[in-house]
Structure 1
Amino acid sequence: MTGRLVADPSAGLADPLARQLVAGAFAAISRRYVLARHQIAAVLLDADGEMHVGLHVDAMVGRAAVCAEAGALAAARLATDAELVAVAAVRYPKPTEPPVARIVPPCGLCRELLLDHAPGLAAIVPDGDQVAVEPLAGLLPHKYVGTKWPTELTIRT
């Protein structure tokens, strides 16, 4: 907890799904933000209506860092086999930045990871003053498809 008042990016969102997920991610990062350690929280919603939260865990060696979406995916898979339907992530501002948290789309690596495990996943992404709920596959038009898993587990286009 930082003690400063930061604007909640879910306030005023018209889409109820986006508002729910963004509010969950904002609440998590507001509680757990630590400069240079935990900057983003993500929420994955499953088909049963449960939210699974993940926290960005930074590291001295950047490659060892873990994205919030990966943490949320691990939490979801520990809790349920239910289909994952939507993801949202919120970045908390550094003390030197204006006190406004931002909705952020999954990075490229997380897009690949999430689509491996949830091919029909929707993502909450910034769209001007509002958000769009878009198929994650649309944010990664040329996803890598290997031969490690059966075809039904890979992305459908």
Structure 2
Amino acid sequence: MSGHRVADPAARCSDPVAGALVAAAFAAISSRYVLARHQIAAAVLDADGSIHLGLHLDAMVGRAAVCAEASALSAARLVTGADLVAVAAVRYPKPTEPAAARVVPPCGLCRELLLDHSPGIRAVVPDGPHPLLVPLGELLPHKYVGTKWPAHLANP
């Protein structure tokens, strides 16, 4: 951890689901932040009301790194087959940055992955002072749909 007091971005969320997910992700990264190793945590909410956490795993070879959202998706799938309804990720500041954690949107790869596994999932994204909960599909128009799964599973 960085040693300086960092503000929880959940306080800026007006939506209670977004606030709960951001608070859970912030708590996770606050306790697990390591400079150049773990800077982002994610929280995924399933349809049964459980929150599953994931941690960003950086790597010397960038391609080997694992995003927090992918980790949270994996954690969820280990314990439930319930639909996943929402996701949020929080980036913890480096010691040289202002002491404010911030909500970050899923990267393109995570958008594809999350939509493959939960086409109706929503994501908390930064939007000025108040993060918003939006359908992830709106952030990834024209998602890739291959032939690996039947069409109704890939794009319901």
Task: State the TM bucket, normalised to the shorter chain.
Answer: over 0.9
CA deviation string 1:102-148 (max 9, x = no partner): 00000000000000000000001011100111100000002110000
1:31 aligns with: 31
CA deviation string 1:44-77 (max 9, x = no partner): 0000000000000000000000000000000000
Unpaired runs of 5+ residues, structure 2, are: none
Quote the Cα distance in structure 1 between the aligned partners of 2:139 and 2:59: 27
Superposed CA RMSD: 0.8
Q: How many residues align?
A: 156
- 1:141-152 to 2 correspondences below 5 Å: 141-152=141-152
- TM, length-normalised to structure 1: 0.97
Quote the Cα distance in structure 2 between the aligned partners of 1:155 and 1:93: 36
Quote the Cα distance in structure 2 between the aligned partners of 1:62 and 1:118: 26
1:70 aligns with: 70
1:55 aligns with: 55
On the 8 A contact 1:7/1:101 being kept in 2, the answer is: yes
Unpaired runs of 5+ residues, structure 1, are: none
CA deviation string 1:76-113 (max 9, x = no partner): 00010000000000000011100000000000000000
2:4 aligns with: 4
- TM, length-normalised to structure 2: 0.98
Report whether the alignment pairs 1:122 with 2:122.
yes
Quote the Cα distance in structure 2 between the aligned partners of 1:132 and 1:12: 10
SS at match of 2:45: strand
SS at match of 1:42: strand
Identity %: 72
Give the partner amino acid of 1:137. Answer: G
Moved over 4 A (4+): none
1:154 aligns with: 154
